[in-house]
Structure 1
Amino acid sequence: MTVWAGIDIGNATTEVVLCTGVDGSQVQASGRTPTRGGKGSLRAVQGAAQLVRRLADAQGLVVDRAAFAPTPPVSSAVERVRLAVRPTGRLTVVTRSAATTAGDDAGVGVPVPVERLGEATSEYPIVACATRQWDYGAVARRVNEAVEAGRNVVAVLTANDEAVLVSNRLRVGVPVVDDVDVRHALSADLVAVEVRQGAGPLQRLTDPFWLADVFGLRDDERADASAVADSLFDSVCAVVALDGATRTTIACPQPEPTGGDEALLVYLADIAAQANSRRGSVAVDSLVMATLGGGDQAPADVAALGAALGVPVTRIDAEAAAARAGALTTPGVTADVVVVDIGGGTVDVVTDDARVVLPGAGQLLTSATATALEISRSAAEYAKRAEALTAVTVQLVEDEHGRRRFLDKPVDGKCTGWLLTSAPSGLLPFTSRISGAEWRSWRLAAKRMVIGGNVMRGIDKVAPDAGGVLLVGGGAGDDELVRAVSEQLGHRVAVGRGNVRGQLGHRFAVAYGLVALAAAAH
């Protein structure tokens, strides 16, 4: 009885299957491990050999032969590019959100430091500005004294997180916004402030005609007012400044992908638009880009693997053919199905006679998530994978379906109101800037555009008339990715997930296919 080892060394993980039988069809064991040293390296080959020996020892087997497809690494370089912001001339948005606000009104006036309110003329409206050294009591006292002296204070800005404390001590009802870059506001000629408490989003600062009127803009500046107004939709507070001179906008050059036609560029603004995200809830001023590289490196050959294992190794020249051979053992599929292997860096689309490798898969999705939420890549790697929980209290969480449950172990009190995702160490808080429903909408839109869109590109190249698509590889384990691909392809195309030999699941298509092809040729 010949014991075969099928070895698939990938960019991220290495999969191994041990099979017996004349045609190598009887699966005895399977396992995977992170690829060490990079695909195609001697270290990766040695790591694969160690995994083979561990599996064989656990099953009491002695490996007789191995099947391997030496392939160079296909690296997917992921890059973030910040885009030029839409110019707004003399207008700038000082802030569009705050920790707390008070009041329910809008006001436009000359910015004046609180310590100089008594010197201000009573002829013009005033926006009182308090830097961080002024506490709420002193700010309220200075504003009240100015109002009693006849100054027309129409709004208050403070650098500290004290809007409600200030407002509760004022004798006049004006909008109060905290966490403001007060020095920026003080450098302006005029400042407009609006706060809405429970009355919906902004009304004045989202009206370009109102902005043009109160700031006295020229006709050629009305487009700037429109750009500012558009950026503030969905906000409930904002501060807009009019500067004496037009600020210089440095345009970022359009990126030039090095991967030719195969490079993938994803604009975060497009994801936000498809998800109908609130303005300001996610970053939209960047794009993420994936390109191919590394294919010119000579990989470790079968001789290296044979030396590490001490057994003969059959070389299979077409890894794509092995992936297809393994995937087609999935129960219920037909021979005309298109096999799509979703990895960390690339998406491989394989038919009987064609294959295309496209950059832009799991790593690009991670980069898009990290950039949009302004979080670390490690947090984004876990957050992108599945549904999140919202920490209602330290022990009560709510899932994306509105179901609530109590945790066995409470989370840190600082996590209340945050979204939580599962990580090896437990529940990981990753953002508090959006709700669970908003995160779900953005996450699904990102998967449709990054993975679903890339699969569409590949199918258009090799099988535009495909009637069925079978997903394999690590990415196929994400239920939302399966949904994303299905939504992109439409109802005319059946989309399913591989289950190699009806028992190995979606990850071992290449490893098992290598054995199948080698045993048939032996």
Structure 2
Amino acid sequence: MTLWAGVDIGNATTEVVLCRDRDVVTSARTPTRGGKGSLRAVAGAAQLVRRLADKHGLTVDRAAFAPTPPVHSTVERVQLEVPRTGRLTIVTRAAATTAGDAVGAGAPVSVERLDTVEPGRPVIACAGPEHGYAEVAGWVNAAVGAGRDVAAVLTANDEAVLVSNRLVTALPVVDDVDIERVLAAQLVAVEVREGVSPLQRLTDPFWLADTFGLGDDERADARVVADQLFDSVCAVVALDETAGRLESAPPPELPSGPAHIVYLADIAAQANSRRGSVTADSLVMAAMGAAGGAPADADALADALGVPVTRIESEADAARAGALTTPGIPAGVVVVDVGGGTVDVVAADGRAVLPGAGQLLTVATATALDISISAAEYAKRAEAVTAVTVQLVEDEHGRRRFLDAPIDGRCTGWLLTAAPSGLLPFTSALSGAEWRSWRLAAKRLVIGGNVTRGVQQVASGATGVLLVGGGAGDDELVRALTEQLGRDVTVGRGNVAGGLGHRFAVAYGLVVLAAGGDHPRTAHP
């Protein structure tokens, strides 16, 4: 019996299966070296075949290969223009600490000049980083005792509670504020709410218009500010006469060719994310790039292996042939290969290659959470846990467990994801439930949207979708696609040859096609 080697060199990984005719003997995979289509990648694949054969005491007789150039997809983030708010400016919508439970509005005045303010004129006391909490509280108390109308206190230092505890009158206090920016304004409004109560006044566009004396043509600006402050428990809004004269940013340049564009605001809206908890003023996009020169052919692999290599013309045909060996699949199922750069949708009589897959999801995650690409790569994959203490974590289902070894105390309150080095902290801005909601929404829009378009292009009436490739290992992606495609479409994962799982569809499909004898072109060493 002939011992075949099916060799699939992908953009990220290379898969190899060894088969006696069509019976699988063994399989393995390794990272692709030198890039898909390169001679170095072919040499690496040949090395993997030889190592796998030697390990099992086998001798490879023939190989099957589909020389395919890499599909390049560029992925990038584009910053969108922030909605215009005219003369109104949100100075801050979050602070390290706050104190008080009230709202106040007035002209900004430095704390050392409070004694110069005429009585009855509402003012906001502003303390720069050079002023300590005791000094700030002393000036404010003296001003209030002299009849000055101090409506709120802003400080640049992280000392809101320390200042508040020393005030004779309860006032809203916010820290970590850009005091120079506040002092440049004509009027400032400050609101702080304790407990779980959200803002009440600064989220009311009518209150904003009245307090800041806005004209009818500025009511839309107040509406934008109010919308941005929903879900906040403290905020500082200023009236700046120069803000309305800022130049508008030019619209982003979008690709003219095939592209997948996802607005982060759409993900945040679908996840019902709290305003300000994730970045929403950007888009991410993936576009097809030039494929480069001709790939290394079957002759190169034949020389590297020293055995005849049958050249299969279509990698897509191989993927479908391998995927269709999955037990229990219905007739007419559409095969979807989810990779890093592209989503390949293959039906019986059509194929679509769409940019935007795993890499685009990584960039969307990194941008939304303002974290590194490497951290986002791990965070996007699966559920996270919240560090309750240095040795106690809680998962997204509310279950708690103790860790074998304590984590760094600075990670308490952070979300942690599994990484090769252990638990990796990646954000403290979201709860576990919020992160789960955003992550699932991102998978629906980034990858689910692409798969839906591909299925509509090649088989609009399909009732079954079979996932293969690296992305098929994501349990949440199966759920996301099920939700995206609807209840009339059955979504499942490939189990190539009834036991290889979802990754080896192309490698095994090459053997299926080559052993069938329909591809006579063979390269000899």
Per the alignment, residue 328 of structure 2 pairs with 332
Per the alignment, residue 176 of structure 1 pairs with 173
* Aligned counterpart for 1:252 among listed residues 245, 250, 253: 250
User: Secondary structure at the residue paired with 1:14?
Assistant: strand
CA contact (8 A) 1:82 1:252 kept: no
CA contact (8 A) 2:120 2:147 kept: no
Per the alignment, residue 8 of structure 1 pairs with 8
CA contact (8 A) 1:469 1:493 kept: yes
In structure 1, give the amino acid aligned to 2:310.
T
Tell me if 1:438 matches 2:440.
Answer: no
**Post-superposition offset of 1:122:** 2.3
Instruction: Provide the C-alpha distance between the structure 1 equivalents of 2:72 and 2:337, rounded to a whole number of angstroms.
Output: 15
* Aligned counterpart for 1:479 among listed residues 449, 452, 475: 475
In structure 2, give the amino acid aligned to 1:519.
A
* Aligned counterpart for 1:167 among listed residues 153, 164, 169: 164
TM-score by length of 1: 0.97
RMSD between superposed Cα atoms in Å: 1.1
Per the alignment, residue 418 of structure 1 pairs with 414
Once the two structures are aligned, what percentage of the paired residues are identical?
Answer: 74
In structure 1, give the amino acid aligned to 2:425.
P
Summarize the Cα distance change of 1:188–1:284 in structure 2 as closer, same or farther, 3 Å threshold. Answer: same
CA contact (8 A) 1:83 1:252 kept: no
Cα offsets for 1:438-459 (capped at 9, x unmatched): 0000000000011111100000
Cα offsets for 1:245-271 (capped at 9, x unmatched): 32414323233214x2x3100000000
**Post-superposition offset of 1:26:** 1.3
CA contact (8 A) 2:6 2:65 kept: yes
**Post-superposition offset of 1:313:** 0.9
Pairwise mapping of residues 33-44 of structure 1 onto structure 2 (< 5 A)?
33-44=30-41
Instruction: Provide the C-alpha distance between the structure 1 equivalents of 2:270 and 2:293, rounded to a whole number of angstroms.
Output: 39
CA contact (8 A) 1:452 1:484 kept: yes
Per the alignment, residue 511 of structure 1 pairs with 507
* Aligned counterpart for 1:133 among listed residues 130, 135, 155: 130
Instruction: Provide the C-alpha distance between the structure 1 equivalents of 2:245 and 2:127, rounded to a whole number of angstroms.
Output: 24
**Post-superposition offset of 1:184:** 1.0
Per the alignment, residue 121 of structure 1 pairs with 118
In structure 2, give the amino acid aligned to 1:419.
L
Cα offsets for 1:388-417 (capped at 9, x unmatched): 000011111000000001111111111111
Instruction: Provide the C-alpha distance between the structure 2 equivalents of 1:117 and 1:34, rounded to a whole number of angstroms.
Output: 67
TM-score by length of 2: 0.97
Per the alignment, residue 17 of structure 2 pairs with 17
Cα offsets for 1:91-128 (capped at 9, x unmatched): 01000011111000000011111222222232411111
Per the alignment, residue 220 of structure 1 pairs with 217
Summarize the Cα distance change of 1:9–1:199 in structure 2 as closer, same or farther, 3 Å threshold. Answer: closer
User: Secondary structure at the residue paired with 1:420?
Assistant: strand
Instruction: Provide the C-alpha distance between the structure 2 equivalents of 1:252 and 1:70, rounded to a whole number of angstroms.
Output: 43
CA contact (8 A) 2:482 2:491 kept: yes
Summarize the Cα distance change of 1:472–1:199 in structure 2 as closer, same or farther, 3 Å threshold. Answer: closer
Pairwise mapping of residues 24-423 of structure 1 onto structure 2 (< 5 A)?
24-198=21-195, 200-245=197-242, 246-258=244-256, 260=257, 262-423=258-419
Cα offsets for 1:41-77 (capped at 9, x unmatched): 1111111111111111111111111111011110111
In structure 2, give the amino acid aligned to 1:345.
G
Instruction: Flag as ranges the 4+ runs of structure 1 deviating above 4 A.
Output: none
**Post-superposition offset of 1:307:** 1.6
Instruction: Provide the C-alpha distance between the structure 2 equivalents of 1:364 and 1:436, rounded to a whole number of angstroms.
Output: 22
- Of 117-126 and 347-356, the range deviating more from structure 2: 117-126
Aligned residue pairs: how many?
517
Per the alignment, residue 492 of structure 1 pairs with 488
User: Secondary structure at the residue paired with 2:425?
Assistant: strand
**Post-superposition offset of 1:421:** 0.2
User: Secondary structure at the residue paired with 1:201?
Assistant: coil
In structure 1, give the amino acid aligned to 2:253.
P
**Post-superposition offset of 1:334:** 2.7
CA contact (8 A) 2:417 2:423 kept: yes
Cα offsets for 1:188-225 (capped at 9, x unmatched): 11110000002511000000110111111111111111
Summarize the Cα distance change of 1:64–1:352 in structure 2 as closer, same or farther, 3 Å threshold. Answer: same
Instruction: Provide the C-alpha distance between the structure 1 equivalents of 2:46 and 2:177, rounded to a whole number of angstroms.
Output: 59
- Of 89-98 and 33-42, the range deviating more from structure 2: 33-42
Alignment gaps of 5+ in structure 1: none
Instruction: Provide the C-alpha distance between the structure 1 equivalents of 2:310 and 2:118, rounded to a whole number of angstroms.
Output: 90
Instruction: Provide the C-alpha distance between the structure 1 equivalents of 2:155 and 2:247, rounded to a whole number of angstroms.
Output: 27
CA contact (8 A) 1:87 1:249 kept: no
Cα offsets for 1:367-407 (capped at 9, x unmatched): 00000011111000000000000001111100000000111
Cα offsets for 1:455-513 (capped at 9, x unmatched): 00000000000011100000000000001111111111111100001110000000000
Instruction: Provide the C-alpha distance between the structure 2 equivalents of 1:71 and 1:27, rounded to a whole number of angstroms.
Output: 24
CA contact (8 A) 2:344 2:353 kept: yes
In structure 1, give the amino acid aligned to 2:155.
T
**Post-superposition offset of 1:294:** 2.9
Cα offsets for 1:119-141 (capped at 9, x unmatched): 22324111111111222111111
Alignment gaps of 5+ in structure 2: 521-525
CA contact (8 A) 1:73 1:297 kept: no
**Post-superposition offset of 1:34:** 1.0
CA contact (8 A) 2:114 2:139 kept: yes
CA contact (8 A) 1:192 1:239 kept: yes
User: Secondary structure at the residue paired with 2:424?
Assistant: strand
User: Secondary structure at the residue paired with 1:147?
Assistant: helix
Instruction: Provide the C-alpha distance between the structure 2 equivalents of 1:223 and 1:322, rounded to a whole number of angstroms.
Output: 57
CA contact (8 A) 1:329 1:501 kept: yes
**Post-superposition offset of 1:37:** 1.5
**Post-superposition offset of 1:17:** 0.6
Per the alignment, residue 523 of structure 2 pairs with none
Instruction: Provide the C-alpha distance between the structure 2 equivalents of 1:109 and 1:226, rounded to a whole number of angstroms.
Output: 21
**Post-superposition offset of 1:147:** 1.3
